Amino acid sequence: MIQSPRGTRDFLPNEMERRRYYENILRTKASVHGFREIQTPIFEEAELFILRSGPNILNELYAFKDKGDRDIALRPEMTAPSIRLFVNNMSNDPKPIKVFYFGQCFRYERPQSGRYREFFQFGAEIIGSATPETDAEVISAAVAMIKGLKLKEFKVRIGHIGVLRQKLTDAGVPGEKMAEVLQKLDKKAYEEAKLILGGIGVSKETIEEIFNITETVGGPEVLDKVEGDAGEYLRKVLAFIKAAGITEAEVDLGVVRGLDYYTGMVFEVEAPVLGAEKQICGGGSYTLSELFGGEKVFSTGFALGFDRVLLALEREGHTHKSRPLDVYMVPASDDMRIRVFEITGQLRAIGVSADVDIMGRKMAKAMKYASAIDARFAVIVGKEEAESDSVVLRDMKTGEQKVVKTGEIFREMGLIRDGYFLTEDN
């Protein structure tokens, strides 16, 4: 039996409805924050991702040659494609540009809990602005989205890549060692970092100071001991975030993020309920456009791991109730089948979700199916009632039923779907 490829998933109707529900919350929140959706292809030239993340990324990519011998890769993330889109199509638009995206990404790695080879990311970027307000806007949007999903417990940690970089530069760490050291610090792999720093000749005392920075965690007051502009900058970011109504943020200068292209503020959101793999969102300010052939343009963005957020919501006990079918249409006898199709068509035309027996089933069996698919109502069309243009309307939950005029089915069902009725134009 052919299965879906390893690390990928099939989404069945109930799960898909739940996913669309949460996706729409993110979409609405993004739009309320002034972001507009873009979409890029599922695959790109592999070069794009190498330019962003370095050649090691190739080990994790689904990369292949197309029939024209071009090196192609399924996208492992959507920041690089978004900035490529900007460079190609939007570089002359008024700045700042605020975009968001949602879709599949691909990483060839060992599948594990909450991590898949095909996974879903939601993200947003502000392109063409480099101010504390810009960073605050991005963090506010990310947090508003997570709150919009009703996740109860989460932690927002905001740092500044400049603080550590400055300290490392002052300590004599050469440019080519910088990324390696930062990656160790990002993972809190202090012993390994100590070995590298010691090897370069950084003193024990300075190493201690470096480690201290990565352990700087708390309210705005911890920024007092930060030298240089970064402290002042983060203080402004925090003030704007607070003004925007976000009270969940804390300073954490240990937030380093793995990649070279970050330029200043970096942040992460964690859901403690997820345990070890608790990061659900990450972002920061960066420049990428010049790597793709454009002018250098400052941006700030974030990406949210959709699958992990959904897992966190599940672990917190959130459930999603599927929307039931409004009505299942049942002919009481075979000569009513055409009549049943007519009524079904009329109900659908006014936006009622209606299904109809198509298998020529006897009434009892059709009613059993209506119950199995969880229909709210059944409408039974019998010859006798049809003569007076009536039907039998049955509430599947209570079992109550009554004879109603065909034109009154809708009103009798009292069908208000979420307080908002679907009409032809929706």
Enumerate residues 42-81 that contact a second copy by CB under 8 A: 42-45, 47-48, 51, 62, 64-68, 70, 72, 74
Residue 261 Cα distances to 31, 63, 121, 299, 378, angstroms: 27, 22, 20, 11, 59
Q: Quick one: which segment of 151-159, 161-169, 187-195, 286-294 binds a second copy (CB under 8 A)?
A: 286-294
Q: How far apart are CA 328 and CA 373, in angstroms?
A: 9
CA angle 307, 218, 195 (to 5 degrees): 80
Q: Is 144 in the site for a second copy (CB under 8 A)?
A: yes
Residues numbered 289-308 forming contacts with a second copy, rule: CB under 8 A:
292-294
- The residue (of 185 and 267) whose beta carbon lies closer to a second copy is 267
Interface with a second copy (CB under 8 A), residue total 107
Given 171, 178, 244, 363, the residue binding a second copy (CB under 8 A): 244
Rg (CA), the chain: 28
Tell me the closest approach of the beta carbon of residue 168 to a second copy, in angstroms: 30
Q: How far apart are CA 332 and CA 281, in angstroms?
A: 55
CA nearest neighbour of 258 among 178, 150, 355, 336: 178
DSSP 6: T
Here the tokens at position 410 are 């809708």
Residues numbered 119-138 forming contacts with a second copy, rule: CB under 8 A:
126, 129, 131, 133-134, 136-137
Give Dmax (Cα) for the chain: 97
Residue ranges in 171-282 assigned as alpha helix (H): 175-186, 190-200, 204-214, 229-243
Q: Quick one: which segment of 35-43, 199-207, 218-226, 402-410 binds a second copy (CB under 8 A)?
A: 35-43
Tell me the closest approach of the beta carbon of residue 204 to a second copy, in angstroms: 43
Q: Quick one: which segment of 28-36, 166-174, 191-199, 256-264 binds a second copy (CB under 8 A)?
A: 28-36
Given 108, 183, 206, 320, the residue binding a second copy (CB under 8 A): 108
Residue 268 Cα distances to 9, 22, 39, 271, 282, angstroms: 27, 20, 24, 10, 4
Site string for a second copy, 163-182 (x = CB under 8 A): --------------------
- The residue (of 70 and 397) whose beta carbon lies closer to a second copy is 70
Residues numbered 245-274 forming contacts with a second copy, rule: CB under 8 A:
245-246
Residues numbered 341-400 forming contacts with a second copy, rule: CB under 8 A:
341-342, 344-346, 348-349, 351-360, 369, 372-373
- The residue (of 144 and 213) whose beta carbon lies closer to a second copy is 144
- The residue (of 63 and 404) whose beta carbon lies closer to a second copy is 63
Q: How far apart are CA 329 and CA 356, in angstroms?
A: 5
Tell me the closest approach of the beta carbon of residue 243 to a second copy, in angstroms: 4
> Which residues, including other chains, have CB under 8 Å from residue 235's CB and lie 6 or more apart?
220, 223
Given 22, 53, 79, 96, the residue binding a second copy (CB under 8 A): 96
CA dihedral 175, 179, 185, 190 (to 10 degrees): -70
Here the tokens at position 258 are 């793995």
